[in-house]
Every structure is written in structure tokens, then in C-alpha cells.
Amino acid sequence: MSNNWMQERRRDYYYRKAKQLDYRSRASFKLMQIDDRFNIIHPGMTVVDLGAAPGGWLQVAAERVGPKGKVVGVDLQPIAPLEGVQTIKGDIKNEAVREELLTMTNGRVDLVMSDMSPNISGSYSMDHARSIELCEMAMAFALRTLSPGGNMLVKMFEGDLSRDFIDELKKHFANVKRYSPEASRSSSSEIYVVAKGFGKSKKGQDG
């Protein structure tokens, strides 16, 4: 880990703010900004976070669903305990992990979210394709588990496969939007896709 990278991170506004407010990652502010814009998290919801480590999104989700809600996170890496949050250490590709998630949520999920990223290879076309693969995995889980009217949030690296993924989402959700929160680094090619209204498909407005 280079000294320049560490110095840049310490200068990063959202990194510092996360430290000050005891959030586990700067990504917490991305979710706050997305939810403030699109209102995808409501009190009492059941939320599943795929690729949840270290837990920044879990913290925000738990705050916003409140004591009557439920938040479950899954990741290949262990997630340190968080109040009001259940976690699974495992691979979402594994059917046993998916079944455990269904059991923990009583088969009812209101929001599926994924901030998963592929291991960066240095080849953007390859990284983009792997990102879309992760998005499709999250979508498959959402289509299986979401309650009618439920929402989905997924991170995607932009590229030539993005349009087909967006078009597929529009078949299942009433409204699909691309969004880049302020907390995303300007140098990043990531974009967040917000899909609302599961099972109420119409020609979504993409923007």
C-alpha cells in the first residue's frame, strides 16, 4: 500500500467523515445520498445486503429501517457484529447461503442491495464484464426474494453491457434509474442502478 494512496485517503472528505461518525466505510455516505434521493429504505423494511463487508451500508440500513425492521448482510469476509444486524459469512453463489438468507428473512425481502465489486484485473473490459456478472447475480436473488413493490440497488461499472442489464431490470421493475452519488470518487467509473416497484413493470425512465 503506497504512501501516496494512504495520504490521498486521509485527505478524502468522506473517509474522514466516516471516521468521525464511526461508520465503517465511506460507502455509508453513498447509500445515504442514494436513499435521500430515491427513498428506497423505509421503517420496518427487511433489507438484504450482498457483499456487505465491512458493514458501512448495514449501519445505514439498520438506522433507517428502525427497530421494527430487519437487516441481513452476507459476504465472503467476516463482518464484525453490529447492533440490530444479522450476518452470514458465505458466498451468495452458494445455494445453501441463499437458502439461509431466505430462512433468516422468512422469505420476505423489501430491498436487495449490492455494492459488490470484482477483483480489479487492470483490464477494464474484463472488470466491466465481471461487474455485470455480479449485478446479474444480485438481480437473480432479488427476483426470487423481493416482495411485490420491493426495491433493488446495485453498483455497476459502466460499459457496453450496461444497456442490456438495464433493459432486463425494466422488465421487472416500474422505475429504473442510474445515479452517481456525490460520495463516489470522480475518478471512478462506478454507477448505481436504482430499481423500484418490483412486479409493476412498465417502460422505466432511465436517467
Catalytic residues: 155
Helix (H, G, I), strand (E, B) or coil at 204: coil
Please answer whether residues 157 and 127 qualify as being in contact, where contact means their C-beta atoms are separated by less than 8 angstroms.
yes
C-alpha span between 18 and 207 (Å, rounded): 29
Pull the grid cell for residue 176.
Answer: 429504473
C-alpha span between 12 and 6 (Å, rounded): 10
- How would you class 202 by CB atoms within 10 Å of its CB: exposed for 0-12, middle for 13-18, buried for 19 or more? exposed
- Start-to-end Cα distance in the chain: 37
- Work out the angle between the directed axes of helices 3-11 and 13-21 (0-180°, nearest 10): 70
Which is it for strands 190-198 and 173-179: parallel, antiparallel or unpaired?
antiparallel
Residue type, 70: K
C-alpha span between 204 and 195 (Å, rounded): 9
Pull the grid cell for residue 129.
Answer: 464484464
